[in-house]
Amino acid sequence: MGKIKNVFLLLAGKIFACLYIYGASDVFASDSLAVVGKQILNGENDSIRIEANKYFQKSIKDILVNDPDMRFSFDSIHNVSVLISPDKKLRIISWALPEIKNKTYTYFGYLQTAKSKKVEGALYELLDQTSNIENAEDAKLTTEKWFGGIYYKILENESFGKKYYTLLGWKGNNALSTKKVVDAIYFMGKKPIFASSIFKVEKKIKNRLILEYNSMAVVSLNYDDKLKMIVFDHLSPADANQAGMYENYGPDFSYDGLKFKRGKWELIKDIDIRNKDERHKKFKKPQQGLMPK
């Protein structure tokens, strides 16, 4: 364990030196973090992965603190997702720590608002509280109580004069099931809130939409620019007697969608999509490298 810690201390030291001496865009900082990131995903035991994650998290925070203009490139760090909103006012970073022993995931991240002439930028740590969240689709959440995941798409909408950032995410759950999530952020003053109430599902208003399915299945969820909709696979159980047992759910070759109208993402069932096979390939999964092995 001592050797492991020394390796990460050395890497962390080099990363910090690059940040403070050469500037936050230094290539070596990215390369060093990429090495640590690989250990988070593929370390041979949980001790290595957890130790790597500690240094990774500290390094990411230091980069963000020293990069209020959001210029640092994370392109070579493949275990982390970095999204910047269309209006360039928000950056959200997310990644996963997969544990070998329990076959579960813990999620980490930061939400950063941009600095401007009128507004000071702010940095918020995202604290994964999945195990403490009941009725997740209806729960009112914050950065301190976050339904963790890896985000791979950010959209921007307005509803009654208020701006919303809609997020599409992947959430490894356990050995049996995986989840994909449609969530949204808005700001109450300067405080980011994950409780948008802009999802209308069969006459019910929800704070987020969660798709849960068999961990071996491939499920699509993404935004279709032509249809101007969030399009996703409709999920069904392998057997009618397995209703509600989501580890047995998978795509049934029909599609549903969310259309933004009248200030809400409204669920539309059984969308008629041409070239379904091509779209399914397009919407397969997040960017390569974000999904833990």
Q: pLDDT (tens digit, 9 = 90+) per residue, 177-222?
A: 999 999 999 999 889 999 989 999 988 999 999 999 999 999 999 9
Instruction: Look at residue 277 and tell me whether its pLDDT is greater than 70.
Output: no
Compute the average pLDDT of residues 232-238.
95
- State residue 30's pLDDT score: 83
Q: What is the mean pLDDT of residues 142-171?
A: 96
Q: How far apart are CA 40 and CA 186, in angstroms?
A: 31
The per-residue pLDDT for 43 is 95
Task: Delimit the domains of the chain by residue range.
Answer: 1-78, 79-293
Q: What average pLDDT score do residues 59-83 get?
A: 92
pTM metric for this prediction: 0.87
Q: List, in order, residues 6 or more apart from 89 with CB less than 8 Å away.
A: 113, 114, 116
Q: What is the C-alpha separation between 193 and 206, in angstroms, rounded?
A: 14
Q: Assess whether pLDDT exceeds 70 at residue 289.
A: no
Kindly report the backbone phi and psi dihedral angles of residue 176, in degrees, each rounded to the nearest multiple of 5, phi listed first: -100, -35
Cα–Cα–Cα angle for 70, 71, 74, nearest 5°? 95
- The number of C-alpha atoms within 13 Å of 129 and in the hemisphere containing its C-beta is 17
Answer yes or no: is pLDDT of 60 > 70.
yes
- Local structure of 102: helix, strand or coil: coil
Q: How far is CA 185 from CA 3, 154, 163, 278, 287, in A?
A: 41, 10, 9, 31, 22
Residue in this structure with the two tokens 């890497």, named with its chain if needed:
11
Q: What pLDDT score was predicted for residue 20?
A: 42
The average pLDDT across 78-87 equals 96
Among 9-23, 58-72, 110-124, 167-181, top mean pLDDT goes to: 167-181
Question: In the predicted model, what is the mean pLDDT of the chain?
Answer: 87
Cβ(257)–Cβ(229) under 8 Å?
yes
pLDDT in tens, 94-145: 999 999 999 999 999 999 999 877 778 999 999 999 999 999 999 999 999 9
Do 257 and 227 meet the contact criterion of CB atoms below 8 Å apart?
yes
Sign of the alpha-carbon torsion through 97, 77, 292, 131: positive
Residue located via tokens 């009654």: 160
Q: Is the pLDDT of residue 18 over 60?
A: no
pLDDT of residue 17: 45
